[in-house]
């Protein structure tokens, strides 16, 4: 029943959204045409496989979710070099930016038509189909289940327990999740929710394993060739603004200006969520009109720039910049998408501020609980929270240590996930 409802009522609306969106939005258009080429790429990849090769198909929504996959790939490839990794993305941010020797083939995930997914698994039969996080596609799961392919979801967290989810939606998830072979959840609460939803299916593996993204953040931090032992209070008095949406800019730009005008020592690094020339120009024009010096980072080192504001204009620089400041604000909390990565500033020992839409981020919840994360609801909150932290050095250091402690407590997940994928 649910296959019919999804394929004849739900997915057609998704496809219509893609078709209309591809006319007006470049990212959607790019993904749409990329999917048209996916089956051809799968066929080419399959034809070059040796009979002893084992295919593990990983899927992630975007580049951010790949951060969860990366340490797992390291472990799997080290355990068995004959494993070939097929990696699919939903978003161009992943497809365009992930270049990794551990991945043997990268594609956009094909359209989730029943006949498309059936055809895909006739071309290639992976030993395991592995979803990272929340981005799962029903027909892929149903078709893989029919082919008796082992299906795993890891770094899983679930929200269908909320009152806003109707019994109809819960029944849909129940029908879908009974096809999954193994769930590796982030915390015990999520494990309990899955057990309560599919309690009659005792053959399904459900284990709490944490989030491998913490290990990835630690790995990236360890690889940085900078002085990471430098005491927080010896760093420049600087705010790092990471992955800032326009909705964040509208909230923070005026109080940020006031903070800078009030304090000659204070400076800032600003990174937009997307590197778009028009948006960076708007920020530059605003501050120059206020006689605040601003400069793009380009290929220069952060310490070479004396301007009050440094604007990051290249991909891959943000996570390094957190080590050059004392407080971070992470964007997305005033948009429907939710906040971006709070772990990178946390491992750099920064107190982390963000907007109210952070409930999808387990890491942000842990930061708030530990005293290293701070929710702001408006411009006044932004000004007051930063003013308070800079005015109270003892509290700033305490919040810094609390932020880092969240990372330390969550390390080791990727090893558990690798063992589960290989052995379950």
Give which of 171, 276, 156 is closest to 211, Cα–Cα. 156
Sheet holding 128-132, edge to edge: 105-108, 83-89, 54-60, 128-132, 150-156, 182-185, 205-208
Distance of alpha carbon 78 from alpha carbon 325, whole angstroms? 36
Q: What is the pLDDT of residues 267-276, one digit of tens each?
A: 999 999 989 9
Distance of alpha carbon 108 from alpha carbon 35, whole angstroms? 5
Instruction: Give the pairing of strands 294-296 and 309-311.
Output: parallel
Q: Where are the domains of the chain?
A: 2-218+411-423, 228-409
Q: What is the pLDDT of residues 131-190, one digit of tens each?
A: 998 788 999 999 999 999 999 999 877 765 555 556 777 788 888 999 999 999 998 988
Distance of alpha carbon 414 from alpha carbon 140, whole angstroms? 24
Q: What are the helix (H) ranges across 226-376?
A: 246-262, 277-289, 318-321, 343-347, 362-370
Fold exhibited by the domain 2-218+411-423: Rossmann fold (3.40.50)
Distance of alpha carbon 48 from alpha carbon 44, whole angstroms? 7
**Contact between residue 293 and residue 264 where contact means Cβ atoms under 8 Å apart:** no
Q: What is the pLDDT of residues 43-88, one digit of tens each?
A: 999 999 998 899 999 999 988 889 889 999 999 999 999 999 999 9
- Same topology, domains 2-218+411-423 and 228-409? Answer is yes
pLDDT-based confidence at 327, cuts 50/70/90? very high
**Between 2.40.110.10, 3.40.50.2000, 3.30.450.70, 3.40.50.2300, what CATH number should domain 228-409 receive?**
3.40.50.2000
């Amino acid at each position: 029943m649910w296959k019919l409802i999804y394929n004849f009522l739900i997915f057609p609306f998704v496809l219509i959204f893609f078709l209309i969106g591809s006319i007006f939005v470049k990212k959607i258009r790019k993904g749409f045409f990329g999917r048209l080429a996916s089956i051809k790429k799968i066929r080419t990849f399959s034809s070059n496989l040796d009979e002893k090769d084992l295919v593990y198909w990983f899927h992630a929504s975007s580049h951010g979710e790949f951060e969860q996959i990366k340490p797992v790939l390291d472990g799997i490839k080290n355990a068995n070099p004959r494993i070939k990794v097929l990696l699919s993305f939903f978003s161009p941010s992943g497809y365009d930016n992930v270049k990794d020797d551990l991945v043997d083939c990268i594609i956009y995930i094909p359209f989730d038509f029943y006949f498309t997914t059936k055809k895909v698994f006739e071309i290639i039969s992976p030993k395991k189909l592995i979803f990272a996080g929340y981005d799962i596609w029903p027909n892929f799961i149903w078709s893989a289940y029919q082919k008796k392919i082992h299906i795993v979801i890891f770094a899983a967290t679930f929200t269908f327990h909320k009152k806003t989810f109707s019994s109809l939606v819960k029944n849909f998830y129940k029908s879908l999740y009974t096809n999954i072979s193994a769930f590796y959840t982030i915390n015990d609460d999520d494990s309990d929710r899955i057990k309560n939803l599919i309690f009659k299916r005792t053959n399904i593996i459900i284990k709490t394993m944490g989030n491998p993204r913490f290990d990835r953040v630690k790995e990236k931090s360890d690889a940085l060739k900078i002085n990471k032992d430098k005491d927080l209070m010896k760093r420049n008095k600087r705010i790092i603004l990471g992955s800032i949406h326009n909705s964040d800019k509208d909230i923070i730009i005026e109080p940020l200006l006031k903070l800078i005008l009030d304090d000659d020592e204070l400076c800032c690094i600003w990174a937009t969520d997307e590197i778009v020339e028009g948006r960076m120009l708007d920020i530059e024009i605003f501050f120059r009109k206020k006689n605040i010096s601003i400069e793009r980072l380009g290929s220069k080192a952060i310490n070479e720039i004396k301007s009050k504001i440094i604007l990051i204009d290249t991909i891959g620089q943000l996570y390094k910049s957190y080590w050059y400041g004392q407080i971070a604000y992470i964007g997305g909390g005033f948009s429907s998408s939710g906040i971006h990565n709070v772990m990178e500033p946390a491992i750099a020992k920064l107190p982390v501020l963000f907007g109210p839409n952070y409930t999808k981020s387990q890491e942000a919840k842990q930061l708030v609980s530990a005293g290293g994360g701070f929710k702001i609801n408006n411009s006044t909150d932004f000004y007051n929270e930063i003013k308070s932290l800079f005015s109270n050095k003892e509290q700033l250091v305490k919040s810094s240590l609390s932020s880092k402690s969240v990372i330390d407590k969550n390390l080791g997940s990727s090893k558990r996930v690798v063992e589960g994928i290989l052995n379950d």
